[in-house]
Structure 1
């Protein structure tokens, strides 16, 4: 929505004369007939000849760009999700919204919880498969208990072994062995009631201008345990969202093939006139299936597949509780910060071990590079996506701060035992790979550069990819690309205005290259107001070289504490650390509170496709296990990670050669 400047300019009262023009001028205007003494106002047409209109005196007049990021979570599960309920979650959508907007609530384990600061928006995305199943299972519905599996899960949960029920239920679902006779599917009474309740909760808590509650669900495909989940976000309200129930993934009622989801989304928009987008799940547990380049589901990837994915999936989640998938050190050996919160052992249900050949089609940076090459071949880039973070918490609690982390599932909520507990027990899965609770990440957040806090404005910003993600903290990040940014622009008090006037924001496309020029980027970052200082800002560039091979390079473009950047574009000097693990604290005596710079690509070739995104690194801080040790007085396992370098990732800006067919 544009700033409503015209209305204010047209209703000009006599007070302007008194306060701004002076009594003599007012008298002259009255004698000249410009001032209408009866109405007490100056004629708009006559005033145009007295007061110059170009440029507007007010620096804010006509401003139609966003001025602050809106913070949210696009991936939260309530107790209505079957797996969340199996693990003991009792927090429903309404309490999830209450917590997000700043209220204190009671968690599933009876603990009081409150966020340090409210969120601006929240997406409760309960699984579409088996929606409504858990409340009936927990209540002991006879039809469910008559099934051996239903009885087993019920008994496990009632005996306090919800974590075992959680793993067993997921295994059956992802291996397509969930009992068909007790599966909750669209058209059933329990399914419909749950979907309508989720819609009603979002409508109840949606407060335009103050807090946005999106209608959404998670499409939870995981063929053979390989994670292909997507969160489906509605721009719409109940009038449209209630016309079609969500699509599911389990045969014979649905399919795990994403093309069926895209077809359903197309059908929804045609039927209702509404708008949808899908956010691809963190790809690190897909065992190489999230970002395919040759074939998908046994079929060769063709132009239709490429254009359809590009249409429906503008964003990718790169950081959440199950790790981060921005980059991997095997794929990016020259990236000193790539080894971060990695979950690279197996697939989602830990039924198949991960092998190195799977990594290139799991991680976001590699997908961005592969997308350039696919665009070069077909004219369309299926992986032209923005990057975000969100929690994927199955507790109904959107907690992403290290000092206030309530776990991935309800059995992992704060306790003296969780640092020595298992998220996945090795003896429960086929691979024998266990995952400890301490390996769960306190992450992440999405920030949206939207003009106003409404469904429409936030959705539109997500669709145009003017978003960035963080691993939890709320540092602000701006990135603009163009051809005319100059050193000194970063010092402009109205930096954003300069950015929009001279270039395009994150998520955009550079205009064609003027002859002899290299792209320039205006990038700025501001620390979280209650968080840690910043270590550095980096620009990550990816491109396709003249031989058709993908390449990447990391540039340090701004560093703190007077350190220098070497001629190769890297700062090899560490910022250091002030972390006091024993007391779970740190000091902001190193790093910088804010950074900004103008950077020009020193290696630009106008004939080669490329993308650029910003990564902002914080100084080291305590990881959530350090807070547990401090508060409970217990001990962590020796291998437990106790510090973290939080970060933010902007969405990329793309460059396409003028002569390109794409």
Structure 2
């Protein structure tokens, strides 16, 4: 090697060593100063804007109405899966169903309320384990021996039904309810994982005067440190919702916790759910009743397995989407449903009557938000059409039509069998959608309490609704859309008052399809209002439609979206519809002197139902009237306007 080359090599080596040492020194200095140094300038600079944000920015999907084997009407008719399995499935695990089938959700839920019936909570598992509290009670031992020793579970179930109908709690004083309430609470706390999955503690209060459905799910904001201090109120104690409200008030006073109740869909109440008089005294509802009802029951369940109660074709004759799983012939008692009951059963009619009541009383008893849930009694919170495990465990997937298709769900005691509703007429939904900042008990419960929620029929489509006085169309495309909308208006569940300068309210709506589901057909605004003569009206406006179709001057799109469903192989395509629809809409018929509400309904394109999948998998013969194609949808909570 030449001298110059040797020198260059030596110099290069020395330079490399120097740079390596300098780099190590700099890194060492950085590791020290990084902990001590402050950003340049006199003022501390925060780079991330999100810690101080508070507006809800995520929609969480869950089920607030799921029964397990702890519910006697589930556990004594075939369900052997308890709260543990219900939470595991909801969180994404595969479990084995009561009929021995492996089942898993296509996607986990974000939250779940196991809402087992308070009436003799845990009787079925108590029989199975020969629970000591049960055996020390004379009736408890008798029902245990009938089911387990004599191997007559149906006879044991009939023993239970008899004493429930008689309002005669044979297990009173046995401590059974406390034992299984404690066990249920422990399981909820075990599976509650803030930020990842919310297990809300709750139960069902099963008021059913004369077989009419006035059930409520009671949902707590709290953990078992508070909820274990009480034993749930049941319908043995009272059928009166006002007594339930008083009980919840006593719970809050005793524990410092929070509770609310969610009435079931009113279509099976025979006109009692949204009645004009109180249940027991039959006194006309007044201001005090209206305020208490909305304090304790801020939302209702508007859609579930046992039909949809948004509206009814007889109440909304100009609404071509009104007849969606209309269960309208009877309840669980012997009295049939009659058309005069419908206005006091369906949500849209109740919302309209609520405006009338507010004019008269100064308070609105029906100013509720809306959610969906399943009311499944299988411990399986599945709402997918190709994964529907039925209302009860006897009706889990099977080629045997006896339970899967023909089991009577409603109207068992009606004189006219043609008015009975059977399992093939069930829907597979629904779901509760909640706008919140984080996935915790507190955030989910608070969103329900403030009514920033919406219902879906089982799909996971996303909907945003804002209303205000000063929005303009270009606000739809803002990069800070949600933050700006919250700052200058109100979300679903909110209130607008006293139109400034007689301005009409403007709505901004965004709808995004379920990422694994069907495209959207249209977005609609449903408006209700009260005229000066006290009469309430409704009108539907199509505000966004897919595929370039036109909305007429009357605010309606008359052209159907089409249908891509292939019933032979039970498929559909997203060749029609749009994945995303948004709209800015200003009420063209606004009168600042009229009370009004506005909610949004989003309709999907046609898709196959669970009956179509059953036909393909099992070769089932679908009974006459069975739906094989439907259009799933979402309903938002309204925004209300008060002069």
**In the alignment, what sits opposite 2:268?**
285
Verify: 1:411 aligned to 2:394, yes or no. yes
**In the alignment, what sits opposite 2:80?**
90
Measure how far apart 1:511 and its partner are.
4.2
**In the alignment, what sits opposite 1:602?**
588
Structure label with greater radius of gyration: 2
TM-score under structure 1 normalisation?
0.87
After superposition, give the CA deviation of every residue in 1:602-653 in whole Å (9 maximum; x if it has no partner): 0000111111000000001001010111111332223311111100011110
Relative distance call for 1:78 and 1:539 in structure 2 (3 A) is: same
**In the alignment, what sits opposite 2:299?**
315
After superposition, give the CA deviation of every residue in 1:161-180 in whole Å (9 maximum; x if it has no partner): x5x986x5786467x325x3
Q: Distance in 2 between matches of 1:264 and 1:592?
A: 48
Relative distance call for 1:143 and 1:625 in structure 2 (3 A) is: farther
Relative distance call for 1:515 and 1:192 in structure 2 (3 A) is: same
Q: Distance in 2 between matches of 1:569 and 1:427?
A: 43
Verify: 1:177 aligned to 2:173, yes or no. no
Where does 1:154-233 land on structure 2 (aligned, <5 Å)?
154=147, 158=151, 172=162, 176-177=165-166, 180=168, 182=170, 184-185=171-172, 187-233=173-219
Measure how far apart 1:371 and its partner are.
1.1
Measure how far apart 1:299 and its partner are.
2.6
Question: Once structures 1 and 2 are overlaid, which stretch shifts more, 499-508 or 467-476?
Answer: 499-508
- Aligned match of 1:437 in 423, 426, 440? 423
**In the alignment, what sits opposite 1:332?**
316
- Aligned match of 1:245 in 212, 227, 231? 231
Q: Distance in 2 between matches of 1:148 and 1:199?
A: 26
Verify: 1:351 aligned to 2:334, yes or no. yes
Where does 1:200-599 land on structure 2 (aligned, <5 Å)?
200-250=186-236, 254-300=237-283, 301-347=285-331, 349-418=332-401, 419-424=404-409, 430-432=415-417, 433-599=419-585
Q: Report if the CA contact (8 A) 2:69-2:122 is conserved.
A: no
Q: Distance in 2 between matches of 1:650 and 1:379?
A: 25
Measure how far apart 1:434 and its partner are.
2.8
Q: Distance in 2 between matches of 1:157 and 1:87?
A: 16
Q: Which runs of no fewer than 5 residues in structure 1 stay unpaired?
A: 1-35, 658-662
Q: Distance in 2 between matches of 1:583 and 1:157?
A: 47
Q: Distance in 2 between matches of 1:173 and 1:482?
A: 54
Question: Once structures 1 and 2 are overlaid, which stretch shifts more, 135-144 or 86-95?
Answer: 135-144
Q: Distance in 2 between matches of 1:44 and 1:172?
A: 78
How many residues are treated as equivalent by the alignment?
605
Q: Report if the CA contact (8 A) 1:561-1:592 is conserved.
A: yes
SS of the equivalent of 1:488 reads helix
Q: Report if the CA contact (8 A) 1:73-1:123 is conserved.
A: yes
Question: Once structures 1 and 2 are overlaid, which stretch shifts more, 369-378 or 404-413?
Answer: 369-378
Q: Distance in 2 between matches of 1:270 and 1:219?
A: 20
Measure how far apart 1:581 and its partner are.
1.3
Q: Distance in 2 between matches of 1:333 and 1:214?
A: 39
Q: Distance in 2 between matches of 1:622 and 1:305?
A: 43
Q: Which runs of no fewer than 5 residues in structure 2 stay unpaired?
A: 1-31
Q: Report if the CA contact (8 A) 1:156-1:165 is conserved.
A: no
SS of the equivalent of 1:375 reads helix
Measure how far apart 1:427 and its partner are.
6.7
Q: Distance in 1 between matches of 2:392 and 2:228?
A: 29
Q: Distance in 2 between matches of 1:38 and 1:202?
A: 43
Q: Distance in 1 between matches of 2:302 and 2:34?
A: 63
Q: Report if the CA contact (8 A) 1:369-1:551 is conserved.
A: yes
Question: Once structures 1 and 2 are overlaid, which stretch shifts more, 144-153 or 368-377?
Answer: 144-153
SS of the equivalent of 1:474 reads coil
SS of the equivalent of 2:194 reads coil
Measure how far apart 1:181 and its partner are.
5.8
After superposition, give the CA deviation of every residue in 1:305-331 in whole Å (9 maximum; x if it has no partner): 221111100000000010000000111
Measure how far apart 1:513 and its partner are.
1.0
After superposition, give the CA deviation of every residue in 1:398-447 in whole Å (9 maximum; x if it has no partner): 01111110000001100002454223497765553432221111010001
Q: Distance in 1 between matches of 2:409 and 2:35?
A: 75
Q: Report if the CA contact (8 A) 2:66-2:116 is conserved.
A: yes
Q: Report if the CA contact (8 A) 1:137-1:144 is conserved.
A: no
TM-score under structure 2 normalisation?
0.89
**In the alignment, what sits opposite 1:135?**
125
Relative distance call for 1:633 and 1:144 in structure 2 (3 A) is: farther
Measure how far apart 1:99 and its partner are.
0.2
After superposition, give the CA deviation of every residue in 1:86-129 in whole Å (9 maximum; x if it has no partner): 22111100110000000000111111000000001000011111
Measure how far apart 1:586 and its partner are.
0.3
After superposition, give the CA deviation of every residue in 1:24-73 in whole Å (9 maximum; x if it has no partner): xxxxxxxxxxxx9796423687136xx7xxxx986757432222201100
SS of the equivalent of 2:354 reads helix
Measure how far apart 1:497 and its partner are.
2.3
Q: Distance in 2 between matches of 1:343 and 1:284?
A: 7
Q: Distance in 1 between matches of 2:539 and 2:579?
A: 26
**In the alignment, what sits opposite 2:17?**
none
Q: Report if the CA contact (8 A) 2:88-2:95 is conserved.
A: yes
Q: Distance in 2 between matches of 1:38 and 1:631?
A: 63
Measure how far apart 1:341 and its partner are.
0.6
After superposition, give the CA deviation of every residue in 1:166-198 in whole Å (9 maximum; x if it has no partner): 6x5786467x325x363x34x532211110011
After superposition, give the CA deviation of every residue in 1:480-505 in whole Å (9 maximum; x if it has no partner): 00011112222234432232122111
Q: Distance in 1 between matches of 2:259 and 2:73?
A: 25
Q: Distance in 2 between matches of 1:649 and 1:397?
A: 23
Relative distance call for 1:306 and 1:428 in structure 2 (3 A) is: closer
SS of the equivalent of 1:299 reads coil
Q: Distance in 2 between matches of 1:173 and 1:549?
A: 45
